[in-house]
Structure 1
């Protein structure tokens, strides 16, 4: 499986050909209200374009279908899931999961154990507004850490509709993530906010996201 990837200018300098992780120092936290926060670290993973190519070729991607409005439709992205104890498709992902578990140990109180991968092939692929509310994420504060490789795509976050939620586009947070960027969504984010990768008519290249979660959160 192959899709064209436009390499980042940063990686093309030759300083980041080797796939690895930078220190988690410099993580910037943004409180979003209602007990929600996000941490963002740009280019946490070096050699991100090389990792994209390896994952695109080696991961056992599969397509899913879902029932919507009484008919089956294709899920607009490719998927792969690695449960607790499953070998991850690249050693750097094991190191990333360990580094995140150690960094957030005091706040999270448990390690990240699973990894879900999504392959957004072009601007037609997307994920609708949702929170990771299957399992404990529906009732408990937790964290989801996402590493993005490939071309940047916009991740949108907004308060869930309902009592106390803010209205209007001004409440939506937009983060363009790709080329090794890291975002961690914490606090009550999965319960009280939701996030999405919208479709776009702009010409965009492919992106792979790796979502690390604690056990029992999907």
Structure 2
């Protein structure tokens, strides 16, 4: 089911609940689209109201991005942080629109991201903690250039993160993801971090683990 009256193109799986449903928003990775993570929807708790977003920057010949990546730059990858910050704010605005437009509970919002979608999920939760409750962060890392500098003044006490990474990820090095748990610990944020023996993808046992984690929190 598609809805395009809101600011970001998205598809929806309705909840089994008529009102006050927990909301799960999916953010795909670089070069993909809203159908990618949506395949998880049918396997997730039926009370979840699921929205899968399409990133705002179309790519050629197909796919979308939350921000541009220049693969020829130094260190192999250079991210357009201006575009990334714009997308972060766009997602935050979309959360407000979704809460106003759909029969969901505004204080029960979970972001589920993969890769670039995870980088944005971290950024949204750490910049707008009042809009988010849970984050499922698959195969990504925290880009400190797109989160607030004065983090110590924010209230993150209600947030919970499930983070996972492939130990042989060839796209985003696992070392980048390993910096996340100490970072979250420093902010006293509840989190779980696990690695799986895969590349840049989600292993079945990874899926079952985050589904179980989420069941306790919605």
TM more than 0.5: no
Larger Rg: 1
Give 1 or 2: higher strand fraction.
Answer: 1
Give the TM-score of the pair, scaled to structure 2. Answer: 0.31
Q: Which protein has greater RCO, CA pairs closer than 8 Å, 6+ apart?
A: 1
Give 1 or 2: higher helix fraction.
Answer: 2
